[in-house]
Amino acid sequence: MDLDSTPQQDTVRREARAWLSARVPTTPLPSLETREGFAAHREWERTLHADRWSVVSWPEEYGGRGCSVLEWLTFEEEYYAAGAPGRVSQNGINLLAPTLFEHGTDEQRARVLPPMASGEVIWAQAWSEPEAGSDLASLRSTAVRTRGGWLLSGQKTWSSRAAFADRAFGLFRSDPDAGKPHHGLTYVMFPLDANGVTVRPIGRLDGKPAFAEIFLDEVFVPDQDVIGEPGRGWRVAMSTASNERGLTLRSPGRFTAAANRLVELWRRRAGPAGPGDPAGPAGLAGHVDTALRDRVADAVIGARAYQLFTYAGAARLAAGGAIGAESSLNKVFWSEYDIALHETALDLLGPYGELADHAGDSPGHGGWTEGYTFALAGPVYAGSNEIQRDIIAERLLGLPKGRR
């Protein structure tokens, strides 16, 4: 058992650090949940892609570097330590791409992956429906057979990024007579600017259009935009819901960097206000008690625990093991950790913690307000934490199924 970097990890670390230090924008980009910010983040994806840093874990033929999970983790550590922008294309990269690698055709991979890697096509997810949230298999949107393809109808909702994205992927009911709710579903990719598609942005808690409703009225998609066998969409979607994706949905590097920023903030708050201290109005300096200190320590401990848990998962995968329901442990942990970390930051900011991120005094916040708003959604999306805890209890602890 060891934690020593491989030579390949060292190489990735060195090269990524050099590249990032030269390229990361010195002023943070506008929020990617705004039109202006979305465009700026798309441009950043292009910059990453130009030097093959946008999808390091993909094979080289699709714009990647063929990095192992460990090398990817190293890249992510460097990426977030450098304060690089959030990834506007992460839905495609983390959710759709693994599905295409496992269930797509060569033609689909060649057509879909390169523009995803370059940010030319940004993907939104279209899973939830008004009547199908945690009980996703009860979804009602339909795919009806037509010549050369399918006609999609119905309503999707809570689609992250859909307000400004180009295309979306999701499940549609293609066989209403299949015996069970999760049978007869088909996994489809579709354009958001097609005839019959209406996208209605939804403001999240801070008003930014971070997600949207999608209305579909007989939207034609060709057969080549179906992933896997028609009617087997549930299995296609779920097979990549765990395994490597479970390990990589939220990279530890993000929390390592956030915890380090929190420690910096705490040091500034605990010490005398210095010149140019953005968060340190002199009247508040030194007003940090041990209760806050303990929460900062917990953030440091949690980031390290999450990082190490992920290293252990990577080692299990490398040793031929699988990660199944264990990914639910990850999801509950990081989503609750993320909120606790941001709450601690806001508490350290005292009366300045409530300022919106566009408030005049807010540049000193270092993005804590935006980060807090973003974190609040964590326990809800990607399978609510209640569902995750059911999975943990039933599949890892062996408890009997019961009413949801």
Partner 1 sequence: MRFLLDDEQREFARTLDDMLTAADTPAAVRDWATGDHARGRELWARLADAGVLALAVPERHDGLGPLPLELTVALTELGRHAVPGPYVETVTVAAFLDRLGDEATATTWLPDIAAGQRTVSLALLTPASPYALDPDAADAVFAVDGDTLRLAESADEIQPSADPARRLARPRGGTVLAQGPPVRAAAAHALNVAALATAAQSLGLGRALLTRTVEYARQRSQFGVPIGSFQAVKHRLADTLIGLEFAQPLVHSAALALAADDPAGGREIAAAKVAAGEAAYVASRTALQLHGALGYTEELDLSLWIRKARPLRDAWGTPAACRAGVLADGLAGDGTDDRAGGRVAAGRPERSA
Decide if 244 is catalytic.
Answer: yes
**Residue 186 or 335 with smaller CB distance to partner 1:** 335
279: contact with partner 1 by CB under 8 A = no
**Residue 50 or 399 with smaller CB distance to partner 1:** 399
63, 98, 231, 302: residue in contact with partner 1 (rule CB under 8 A): 302
37 to 76, contacts with partner 1 by CB under 8 A? 70, 73-74
Give the whole-angstrom CA distance, residue 124 versus residue 241: 16
26, 27, 195, 290: residue in contact with partner 1 (rule CB under 8 A): 290
235 to 274, contacts with partner 1 by CB under 8 A? 253, 256-257, 259-260, 263, 266-267, 270-271
> Least Å distance between CB 130 and partner 1?
24
Distance of CA 46 to the CA centre of its chain: 19
Answer whether 248's CB lies under 8 Å from 72's CB.
yes
Cα 262-77-13 angle, rounded to 5 deg: 135
Neighbours of 180 (CB within 10 A): 8
32, 303, 323, 346: residue in contact with partner 1 (rule CB under 8 A): 303
Catalytically annotated residue among 33, 76, 244, 370: 244
Give the whole-angstrom CA distance, residue 15 versus residue 12: 5
**Residue 259 or 339 with smaller CB distance to partner 1:** 259
What SS3 class is residue 53?
Answer: coil
320: contact with partner 1 by CB under 8 A = no
> Least Å distance between CB 68 and partner 1?
10
Closest C-alpha among 86, 150, 93, 153 to residue 118 = 93
389: contact with partner 1 by CB under 8 A = yes
Give the whole-angstrom CA distance, residue 308 versus residue 313: 9
The residue type of 361 is D
Give the pair of three-digit tokens for residue 251: 């990279």
368 to 387, contacts with partner 1 by CB under 8 A? 386
Q: What is the DSSP string of 288-330?
A: --HHHHHHHHHHHHHHHHHHHHHHHHHHHHHTT---STHHHHH
18, 144, 238, 399: residue in contact with partner 1 (rule CB under 8 A): 399
The residue type of 282 is A
138 to 177, contacts with partner 1 by CB under 8 A? none
18: contact with partner 1 by CB under 8 A = no
What SS3 class is residue 30?
Answer: coil
Give the whole-angstrom CA distance, residue 333 versus residue 340: 11
Stretch that binds partner 1, among 41-49, 59-67, 185-193, 329-337 (CB under 8 A): 329-337
400: contact with partner 1 by CB under 8 A = yes
Closest C-alpha among 14, 33, 250, 235 to residue 137 = 235
User: For binding to partner 1 (CB under 8 A), which residues are involved?
Assistant: 1-6, 9-10, 13-14, 70, 73-74, 77-78, 81, 253, 256-257, 259-260, 263, 266-267, 270-271, 290, 293-294, 296-298, 300-309, 311-312, 314-316, 318-319, 329, 332-333, 386, 388-390, 392-394, 396-404
**Catalytically annotated residues:** 244
